[in-house]
């Protein structure tokens, strides 16, 4: 478009989170000659980089007609400095939007088509509307095995990939939906204390109140780059870091920020998400934990079997040895739900604290045992015993401290300034715990953004309670959030249901 298509960058300081927005004066020559209107998607270039941004038009004097402003996200992505020349052009017609439409209409996509969608996603060329439509179109079992393999491969190829000199490199992943189930830091500590290599990259929460990375961040830095991770793993045999910080399957993170507000996480995308991260992280033997329960992410044995089958089938086609384990998902594991409260549970188990939640310890020992067997660190059937002994001896705790130190230093767990205790309205045994409502309360209280926010559950299924006894405590950092969570909790008093005489 020639020299006429450029304007001077003027910082404006508008934080739109991830969204790229560009602000132009309504009277500038770009708007007039190019026919741009508000919400048009436009290509913006500076410093040899380009991105696609959504256009907002400034009507008023805040911006000169020879100036353009950028959202902070776009400013960072273009590395733009005040006075830099920004160049504008129309968005090319994207083949990937046709492929998304084809998927919406129920057609199968081939590897080339899925790669086009993933590449355009990572390059920021697709609008959030397109990504939301794509996510919805893939949900409800609408990706078959071959499509899932293609999507996984495209996601791996669109990012960085770690390679390790040694083998085996083990990993584990829990298919979420079970609040508080924070076994990963414990498993990594046990398994690496036993000499296996386990470079664990975790994600942040998708639809849950905390992801492993959110919880681990309470205890140590998790935003490590590839060099730092290699140093940590070389020195202590393992790590627990955020995968999104180093461009391992970056498409996964971009889809997650669409899936999160939609509360969607379909089978095909779940498998592609999990396995692309594992493959990109360089592991070759992976244990996938699927907690099953009526309010967990996986609702019943049939759904678990389907997911196991898909995980193994896709893994096999991609050269990854996938083992699966179906566990009890009928109630939360551990007491805390939210990053800080879950971190407290983890540390109690690792330190053999007398109040440590027994169920979390048992679950971690079970999983660590299976990983030890998968990686050749224990004979078949001997894994759990070895894992338990590693915890009891304090070896796992010392190893966990070493990992935290290697990642940048261990941190103190923050306490929420505001709490509210919800008590039993009558006597009786606990008949039901609704994981989804508990998770929602924890999210409304501010988790995972507010580290110390969440829910502390004080009772378990079947336990007898008395009227007035504490059932759970809501933790929050801001009054508005506490009030919001409490409002929802008041509407859902049966989140912890106490049996009555007729039950």
Q: Which residues are catalytic?
A: 265
Q: Round to whole Å and give the CA distance between 262 and 124.
A: 19
- 121 or 192: CB nearest a second copy: 121
Provide the Cα torsion 22, 26, 28, 32; round to 10°.
110
- Residue 97, interface with a second copy (CB under 8 A)? yes
Q: 89 and 35 in contact (C-beta within 8 Å)? A: no
Q: Which stretch binds a second copy (CB under 8 A): 103-111, 218-226, 302-310, 370-378?
A: 103-111
Residues 14-73 that bind a second copy (CB under 8 A): 14-19, 23, 26, 32-35, 37-39, 56-60, 62, 71-72
Rounded to a whole number of angstroms, the CA Rg of the chain reads 24
Task: Give me the least distance between CB of 114 and a second copy, in Å please.
Answer: 16
Q: Round to whole Å and give the CA distance between 17 and 36.
A: 24
Other C-beta atoms within 10 Å of 48: how many? 7
Residue from 65, 85, 104, 123 in contact with a second copy (CB under 8 A) = 104
- Residue 479, interface with a second copy (CB under 8 A)? yes
Task: Give me the least distance between CB of 264 and a second copy, in Å please.
Answer: 6
Q: Which stretch binds a second copy (CB under 8 A): 97-105, 226-234, 363-371, 385-393?
A: 97-105
Residue from 358, 449, 467, 493 in contact with a second copy (CB under 8 A) = 449
Q: Which helix (H) or strand (E) holds 159?
A: none
- Identify the burial level of 146 via C-beta atoms within 10 angstroms of its C-beta, where 0-12 means exposed, 13-18 middle and 19 or more buried: middle
Cα of 111 vs its chain's centroid, Å: 25
Q: Tell which residue, 465, 498, 456, has the closest CA to residue 339.
A: 456
Provide the Cα torsion 230, 235, 239, 242; round to 10°.
-40
Sheet holding 454-457, edge to edge: 336-337, 454-457, 470-476, 418-423
Q: Round to whole Å and give the CA distance between 202 and 209.
A: 15
Task: Give me the least distance between CB of 32 and a second copy, in Å please.
Answer: 7
369-408 footprint of a second copy as x/- string (CB under 8 A): ----------------------------------------
- Residue 3, interface with a second copy (CB under 8 A)? no
Residue 288 pairs in a beta bridge with 173, 324
Report in angstroms the alpha-carbon separations of 494 from 436, 439, 459, 489: 12, 14, 14, 9
Task: Give me the least distance between CB of 295 and a second copy, in Å please.
Answer: 14
| Bond into 236 cis (ω within 30) | no
- 27 or 464: CB nearest a second copy: 27
- 153 or 435: CB nearest a second copy: 435
Task: Give me the least distance between CB of 401 and a second copy, in Å please.
Answer: 32
Using CB under 8 A as the binding criterion, the count of chain residues that bind a second copy stands at 65
Residue from 44, 52, 117, 133 in contact with a second copy (CB under 8 A) = 133
Residues 259-278 that bind a second copy (CB under 8 A): 261-264
Residue from 300, 423, 480, 503 in contact with a second copy (CB under 8 A) = 480
Task: Give me the least distance between CB of 292 and a second copy, in Å please.
Answer: 18
Q: What are the structure tokens assigned to 202, written together?
A: 């975790």
- Residue 83, interface with a second copy (CB under 8 A)? no
Q: Which residues contact 159 (CB under 8 A, 6 or more apart)?
A: 122, 247, 248, 249, 250, 251, 280
Q: Tell which residue, 282, 268, 290, has the closest CA to residue 320.
A: 282
- 314 or 482: CB nearest a second copy: 482
Residue from 8, 90, 353, 398 in contact with a second copy (CB under 8 A) = 90
Other C-beta atoms within 10 Å of 495: how many? 23
- 363 or 440: CB nearest a second copy: 440
Q: Which stretch binds a second copy (CB under 8 A): 137-145, 166-174, 232-240, 294-302?
A: 137-145
**Where on the chain is the footprint of a second copy (CB under 8 A)?**
1, 11-19, 23, 26, 32-35, 37-39, 56-60, 62, 71-72, 90, 93, 97, 100-101, 104-106, 127-130, 132-137, 139-141, 258, 261-264, 440, 446, 449-450, 477-481, 483-484, 488
């Amino acid at each position: 478009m020639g020299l006429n298509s450029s304007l001077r960058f003027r910082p404006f300081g508008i934080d739109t989170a991830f969204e790229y927005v560009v602000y132009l004066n309504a009277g500038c020559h770009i708007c007039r000659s190019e026919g741009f209107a508000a919400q048009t998607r436009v290509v913006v270039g500076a410093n040899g980089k380009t991105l696609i941004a959504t256009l907002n038009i400034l009507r008023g004097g805040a911006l000169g007609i020879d100036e353009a402003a950028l959202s902070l996200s776009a400013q960072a992505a273009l590395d733009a400095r005040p006075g830099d020349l920004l160049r504008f052009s129309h968005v090319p017609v994207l083949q990937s939007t046709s492929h998304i439409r084809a998927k919406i209409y129920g057609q199968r996509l081939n590897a080339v088509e899925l790669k086009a969608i993933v590449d355009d996603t990572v390059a920021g060329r697709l609008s959030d509307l397109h990504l939301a439509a794509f996510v919805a179109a893939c949900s409800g079992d609408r990706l078959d095995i071959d499509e899932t393999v293609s999507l996984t491969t495209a996601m791996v190829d669109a990012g960085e990939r770690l390679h390790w000199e040694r083998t085996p490199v083990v990993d584990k992943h829990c298919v979420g939906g079970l609040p508080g189930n924070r076994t990963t830091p414990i498993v990594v500590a046990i398994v690496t204390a036993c000499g296996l290599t386990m470079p664990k990259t975790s994600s942040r929460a998708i639809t849950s109140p905390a992801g492993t990375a959110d919880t681990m961040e309470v205890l140590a830095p998790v935003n490590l780059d590839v060099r730092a991770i290699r140093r940590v793993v070389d020195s202590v045999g393992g790590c627990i870091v955020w995968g999104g910080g180093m461009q391992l399957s970056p498409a996964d993170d971009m889809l997650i920020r669409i899936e999160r507000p939609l509360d969607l996480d379909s089978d095909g995308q779940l498998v592609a998400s999990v396995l692309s991260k594992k493959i990109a992280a360089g592991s070759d033997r992976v244990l996938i934990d699927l907690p099953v329960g009526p309010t967990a992410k996986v609702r019943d044995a049939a759904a678990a079997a389907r997911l196991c089958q898909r995980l193994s089938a896709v893994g096999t086609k991609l050269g990854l040895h996938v083992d699966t384990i179906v566990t009890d998902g009928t109630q939360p594991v551990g007491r805390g739900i939210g990053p800080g409260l879950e971190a407290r549970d983890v540390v109690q188990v690792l330190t053999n604290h007398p109040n440590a939640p027994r169920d979390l310890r048992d679950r971690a020992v079970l999983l660590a045992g299976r990983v030890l067997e998968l990686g050749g660190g224990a004979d078949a059937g001997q894994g759990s015993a070895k894992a338990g002994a590693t915890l009891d001896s304090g070896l796992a705790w010392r190893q966990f401290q070493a990992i935290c130190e290697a990642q940048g230093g261990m941190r103190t767990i923050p306490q929420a300034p505001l709490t509210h205790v919800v008590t039993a309205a009558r006597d009786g045994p606990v008949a039901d715990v609704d994981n989804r409502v508990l998770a929602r309360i924890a999210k409304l209280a501010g988790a995972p953004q507010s580290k110390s926010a969440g829910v502390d559950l004080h009772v378990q299924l079947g336990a007898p309670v008395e009227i007035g006894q504490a059932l759970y405590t809501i933790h929050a950092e801001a009054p508005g959030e506490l009030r919001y969570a409490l409002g929802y909790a008041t509407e859902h008093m049966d989140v912890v249901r106490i049996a009555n005489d007729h039950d």
